[in-house]
Structure 1
Amino acid sequence: MNREQLITLISEKLKLIRTEKDLTQDQMSDLLGLSKKTLVQIEKGRIYTGWTTAVAICALCRESSILQHELGGDPLEVVDLIANNGTLHPKEKTMGGYIWWKNLSEHKGYRLQQNVISQHFRILDTNNFRLLSTFDESIAKQEWVKFQE
């Protein structure tokens, strides 16, 4: 996934996200710092959000089941990956990947997984902490080799 794909997805789902949060157009436009006219234009598919607005929606609506379903988990992880050119090395606790993740390989409790929706890869340690996230399969496999030594 790239910026344009995320912007398109957020723009197309904005009305559903707003109604899921039970917000009026006035409330949502105020929350996002947009004019109501701009919000209406986005919701009608006439224009797309910008990158900053898409990121704000992911941050402010992080718990949205619509966003989580469309992005395969935490929306901010996908934003972070895109903003950082596709690779992250944080050590963040995860849920272990029981819904949107398939295990590609496992060794001594470490797991290489791929998100079934966004298609990005990650490596988890034995306690479900994320050691790496990347869209680049070659980077994921290169890092995975280190855990098998």
Structure 2
Amino acid sequence: MNQEQIIEQISRRTLLIRTEAGYSQETMAAVLGMSKKTLVQIEKERTLASWTTVVAMIALFSDSEIIQSLLGDAPLEVVRTVAHNGLDRPKGKTLGGKVWWRGIEQEGQYRIQQNLISQHYRILDADDYVWFSTFDEEEALERFRELLKNQGA
């Protein structure tokens, strides 16, 4: 998944996200910091939302079933991964991937998981903190090996 795909998917579902939240067009536009006219254009699929608007929508409505059906249970992690072209720092405690995630490999205190929806990979430690996130499986495996090597050092 890349930035353009996220923009397209969220833009096409803006009306559903707004309806799910129970907001009027006026309220949704105000929450997102845009004009009602712009929101209407996005909802009618005449234009796509900007990356900034999409990120704001994902952040503000991260518990939306519609957003989670597109990006999984950690939509902000997907956005961070796309925006930063991979995360490479301990970032945020997770629930450990009991839902939405499939285990790829586990050794020592680290494990690799793949999101069932977005297909991105992440490395968690034994306390369920994210250490790395990427859409590239080889990159995830390489970073996994580095973490294991440093763990033993």
CA–CA distance in structure 1, aligned partners of residues 15 and 21 of structure 2: 10
Residue 119 of structure 1 contacts residue 135 of structure 1 at CA under 8 Å; is this kept in 2?
yes
CA–CA distance in structure 2, aligned partners of residues 69 and 90 of structure 1: 25
TM score, norm. by length of structure 2: 0.90
Give the unaligned 5+ runs of structure 2: none
Return the offset for 1:31. 1.0
Matched residue, 2:13: 13
Measure the CA separation in 2 of the matches of 1:68 and 1:87: 20
Q: For residues 99 and 58 of structure 1, what CA distance do their matches in structure 2 show?
A: 19
Aligned-residue Cα RMSD (Å) equals 1.5
Indicate the residue corresponding to 1:104 in structure 2: 104
Alignment of 1:61-80 (within 5 A): 61-80=61-80
- TM-fit CA distance, 1:109: 4.6
Matched-pair identity in %: 50
Q: Tell me what 2:60 maps to.
A: 60
1:13-72, Cα deviation, whole Å (9 max, x unpaired): 111111111100110011112111111111111111011111110111122121112101
Within 1, Cα distance between the matches of 2:128 and 2:26? 40
Q: Indicate the residue corresponding to 1:126 in structure 2.
A: 126
SS at match of 1:87: coil
Q: Deviations over 1:76-128 (max 9, x none)?
A: 11111111123332332101111111001112352111111111111111111
Partners in 2 of 1:87 and 1:130 — Cα distance? 9
**CA distance in 1 between partners of 2:22 and 2:97 (Å):** 29
> Contact (CA 8 Å) 2:110, 2:144: kept in 1 or not?
no
Q: Aligned partners of 1:132 and 1:86: how far apart in 2? A: 7
- TM-score under structure 1 normalisation? 0.92
| Residues in 2 aligned to 1:42 and 1:57: alpha-carbon distance in whole angstroms | 13
Change (3 A) 1:58 1:88: farther
Aligned length: 149
Aligned to 2:45: 45
